[in-house]
Amino acid sequence: MSTFSVDSLPTPEGVFIEDPRALDSATGWLALDSIRTWIEIEPSHHEASSGVRLRLTPEAFARWTPQYNTLMLADQLEQHFGKPAEELLEQETLLAMLASPKCFVYPSLLEWESSTKIRTNIARAASKTFLAFDAYGAERPEEYWTYDEERGFIVNSGKSLIEALRLATQPGQHGTVYSFSCYRATEYVVALGVAEEALRVHPSLYRKLEAQAQRRAIRSREFHDVFMIEYGSRQQPLPESYYVPGDRVWFKNPDPASAEALGFEGSWLFYMGRGVFSDFWKRDKSFTLDRKCLEIYHWRHGAYQDPEGIWRMDEKRVQEHMRKTEQDPIEHTRVLNAMRKIQDGPGIYADGGCIDASREYTRFVRPESSNIELKDAQDVV
């Protein structure tokens, strides 16, 4: 039996519910997932609020997420419960949040439940997403989408937002594969995860989201501001192996030359649980953290300038270099040590790796606490 000093362990911040009445209901909810005995639940305070704090016990933290490493959590749960990891995604998500070094704050237990469901919606949608990468152009199913120069891609009147998002991103084995840029693809997957939960718990919000999508697209920085919450910072970076299913993550290309190739400045991904990240550009494929770091590192060996001086990427050469590095243990270790570091700040290319200091998750959707604000005046939620 392994031994450890409780005093030497880091203490997770976990989850804080801004409602003292949540104590009993939280205990009952977590008992249904057979993980109650691994969790401390107690009245507490966070900033100016009274409520309930939930986090892993020291023993559970050391067992399931040592040093905040959540990448092996699903494998351990699979062994413990004797079920496929895919069936344990909700438990994995809850435990990863309860191990968080940064406090997740929710106004109610129900809002935390919705946040968990959105995360699992996103993780499952990301695993089904298969697209054609195109940093210059884009296309959508014409029956459901229309392009407007000013408004972007808008959902056709009378069409379901959820179905429009699914058809654009999830072709299955035989459907049409549509072109997306990396960041825009993540917007669609997030929007789908949010819309599915909004339809379940806040139908009027869903109708507003659908109406908004039929008028103009919310995209780029506005999308981040409307839908996303960022946690972690350069001053207090998240551990490089800490991820929660449904996290949207930015991996930076730390090589300034190859970062000039449009679409290869870095990579936006989702953590899907089970130790893997999304790969939208290959059917039924995913990345481990190490393999994603390796790919981004070797972008420097696939980048070239065309006759017009525009930077392009030869992805076949990237794959060739990856295979060579994987066959050389010393070089493989060197590359991962260089890449599995917190990235430099925007526009800086010094000694940083590709790992972001922060992650992103979605805003609240319940009727009593929704903080998704649509910018058209008649649609403030």
pLDDT per residue of the chain (381 residues) written in tens, 0 to 9: 344 444 556 789 999 999 999 998 988 888 877 899 999 999 999 998 999 999 999 999 999 999 999 999 999 999 999 999 999 999 999 999 999 999 999 999 999 999 999 999 999 999 999 999 987 778 999 999 999 999 999 999 999 999 999 999 999 888 999 999 999 999 999 999 999 999 999 999 999 999 999 999 999 999 999 999 999 999 999 999 999 999 999 999 999 999 999 999 999 999 999 999 999 999 999 999 999 999 999 999 999 999 999 999 999 999 999 999 999 999 999 999 999 999 999 999 999 999 999 999 999 999 999 999 987 634 433
Give the β-pairing of 228-231 and 359-362.
antiparallel
Asked if 231 contacts 104 with a C-beta cutoff of 8 angstroms, the reply is yes
Query: According to the model, what pLDDT value does residue 28 have?
Result: 85
Measured distance CA(33)–CA(28) in Å, rounded: 9
For the sheet with 266-270, list strands across it. 228-231, 359-362, 248-252, 266-270
The residue extents of the domains of the chain are 9-106, 123-228+366-379, 248-357
Measured distance CA(234)–CA(244) in Å, rounded: 19
Query: According to the model, what pLDDT value does residue 33 have?
Result: 77
Look up residue 342 and give its two tokens.
């917190």
Look up residue 305 and give its two tokens.
């300038």
